[in-house]
Amino acid sequence: MKAAVKNTHLNYVGGQWRDASAGMANVNPSDTRDVVGHFASATPQDVADAFTAARHALLAWSSASPLVRSELLSAVGEALLARRAELGALLAREEGKPLLEATAEVQRAGQIFRFFAQEALRLQGETGPSTRPDVDVHVTREAVGVVGLITPWNFPMAIAAWKIAPALAFGNCVVFKPAEWAPACAWQLTQLLVAAGVPGGVFNLVMGPGSTTGAALAANAELNALSFTGSQATGRSLAHSLAGRGVKLQLEMGGKNPLVVCDDADLGVAVDCAVQSGFFSSGQRCTASSRVIVTPGIYDKFVQTLTTATAQLRVGDALHSSTQIGPLAHQQQLSKVLDYVRIGQAEGARLVAGGRALRLEKPGHYMEPTLFVDAKASMRISTEEIFGPVVSVQRASSYADALQQANDTPFGLSAGVVTTSLATARHFQRHAQAGMVMVNLPTAGVDFHVPFGGCKASSYGAREQGTHAKEFYTRVKTAYVR
Ligand code: ADP
């Protein structure tokens, strides 16, 4: 793409803001007449220069006092928290997430930076006796090296934060490529890091398409580790090419998260969990639940109440405080999700709410929250990740059948159960094949200080977030000293 207009937002390479001949317009999905900015697309040379700068900066950064790293992260965390209203509005404007959720995401990003500011100081090792006399063993952790970070558009602040903060905390240098549909949050984060005094080369921003900028990042010989969040197709192809080169990998690749509703569930809790899991953030969360599996004793009541609740959701401009459900992030996303509605109807699931694109006062990618019932476990709407405001309800003959249907997926990120039985809750916690289990809670909505990740095809490599983040962002050294 040739930049028709001057780029307003530049890449950050080797401590310098750098323009490019090509750029991408970032358009507000709530009002497509509103252009957030023009973002320079990094060339393969920009990416190569970012890696060279990162490699040069690595020794000084990784051997600097952890206090230096801690104070940098702390300053960024405080700035995010102080500016959360303004940056939340930016996130809502570029991605379409309602203001309340967008502001909460910026707050979470701030908390993540503050958390890893402390983690930088807590990187302790182990000492012990050797089997040989007069020899001590020291087990320490050190930076992995130059780390590539590739992020998706659906959490442009939080996911960026939970990769950037631990990478820098433990002494790595970073080349960061955000998603092409949501570069403004990444660019603002870079501004905050620069304002906080990040040394040149330690942190580099390369914006642009995955097929060119992302591919150049993944191909660079200086890449020591890659943390990626995105689609299964991209994650798998990155894994194929990088594992053979010995690049350390961490991949988060989505889910098809089940929410099981049992006969003994509190109906209000069950409907609330289904609405939040399925429709909030327009279903564009890898922890969203687009399949609800319901046992027979509560099925009819649940379907009736959920149908009413779905029809009452307020869809609108993400920047309006009364909006519950914003637009989809992009026209392509809307088309893909509408295709799934047609697929569900063709497969014979019963559409009881929504199903159409919405025309509102402003031109945007709006869609009605959509509910299918009587869906079968084998249908594509029950097995494929939709990533939109579409929920399908499947009938189960018993709790055991519901659990079996819940686990019948290649994915394993999050799984929820709604029940008032302690025995059922504990059974589900043990037997759900997922990295995260929610009891009487929506499948989406996680804390910032504990591990995040899944099993099966959802995730690969060490967990993100919390104290577990160091497993990916450090490597272990065992020293013998006489
Ligand atoms: P989504 O469907 O959520 O957009 P993608 O996997 O396409 O998921 O994108 C997630 C991130 O991966 C984005 O930053 C995107 O630009 C990047 N990406 C896409 N294709 C490639 C690729 N071939 N190499 C490296 N990064 C890529």
How does pLDDT run across 238-252, given as a tens digit for each residue? 999 999 999 999 999
| Chain centre to alpha carbon of residue 466 | 15
How far apart CA 73 and CA 159 sit, in angstroms, is 15
CA of 28 to the centre of ligand 1 (A): 20
Choose between 217 and 3: higher pLDDT.
217
pLDDT of residue 236: 95
Residue 27's Cβ-count burial label (10 Å; 0-12, 13-18, 19+) is buried
H or E segment to which residue 339 belongs: helix 331-347
Q: What average pLDDT does range 349-374 have in this prediction?
A: 98
Residues 303/394, Cβ–Cβ less than 8 Å: no
Distance of CA 482 from the midpoint of ligand 1 (Å):
49
Query: Phi and psi for 115 in degrees, rounded to 5?
Result: -60, -45
Ligand 1 and 254: CB distance under 6 A: no
Q: What is the mean pLDDT of residues 313-339?
A: 98
Closest to 177 (Cα-Cα) out of 328, 310, 44: 44
Q: What percent of the chain has pLDDT over 70?
A: 99
* Residue 42 Cα to ligand 1 middle (Å): 15
Q: Confirm if 189 and 155 have CB atoms less than 8 A apart.
A: no
Q: Is the CB of 179 under 6 A from ligand 1?
A: yes
Q: Give the side-chain half-sphere CA count within 13 A for 387.
A: 20
- Interval 18-61: pLDDT, tens: 999 999 999 999 999 999 999 999 999 999 999 999 999 999 99
Q: Is 252 a catalytic residue?
A: yes
What pLDDT does residue 126 have? 96
pLDDT tens digits, residue range 168-191? 999 999 999 999 999 999 999 999
Tokens of 292: 């609800």
User: DSSP assignment of 219-243, as one string?
Assistant: H-TT--EEEEES-HHHHHHHHHHHH
- CA 370/CA 377 separation, integer angstroms: 18
* 234 in contact with ligand 1, CB cutoff 6 A: yes
Span 109-136, average pLDDT: 97
Ligand 1 atom with the shortest distance to the CA of 254:
3
Residue 1 has pLDDT above 60, yes or no: no
Is there a contact between 27 and 37 (Cβ–Cβ < 8 Å)? no
From residue 174, alpha-carbon distances to 41, 54, 166, 198 in Å are 18, 7, 11, 11
Least confident of 3-7, 104-108, 301-305: 3-7
Q: Characterize the bridge pairing of strands 459-460 and 436-439.
A: unpaired
Please say if the pLDDT value at position 313 is more than 70.
yes
Helices (H), 83-214: 84-95, 99-119, 158-169, 183-195
Q: Number of H helices and number of E strands within the chain?
A: 15, 22
Q: Please give the distance, rounded to the nearest whole angstrom, from the Cα atom of residue 232 to the centre of ligand 1.
A: 10
pLDDT of residue 383 exceeding 50, the answer is: yes
Write the single-letter amino acid at 101.
E
In this prediction, residue 471 has a pLDDT band, given cuts at 50, 70 and 90, of very high
In eight-state DSSP terms, residue 9 is B
Strands (E), 236-327: 248-252, 258-261, 291-294
Residue 165's SS3 state is: helix
Model pLDDT, residue 5? 83
pLDDT of residue 48: 98
* Ligand 1 pocket residue status of 293, Cβ below 6 Å: no
- Asked whether 255 and 438 are in contact (CB, 8 A), the reply is no
The mean pLDDT of the chain is 97
| Strand-pair partners of 248 | 225
Nearest CA to 257 out of 287, 233, 298, 213 is that of 287
pLDDT at 3 over 50: no
SS3 content of the chain, % helix, strand, coil (to 5): 45, 20, 35
- Using a 6 Å cutoff on CB, does residue 150 contact ligand 1? yes
d(CA 403, CA 440): 15
**Does 286 participate in catalysis according to the annotation?**
yes
Partners of residue 350 on adjacent β-strands: 373
Atom of ligand 1 nearest to the CA of 180: 16
Element (H, E) at 346: helix 331-347
Q: Is the pLDDT of residue 4 over 70?
A: no
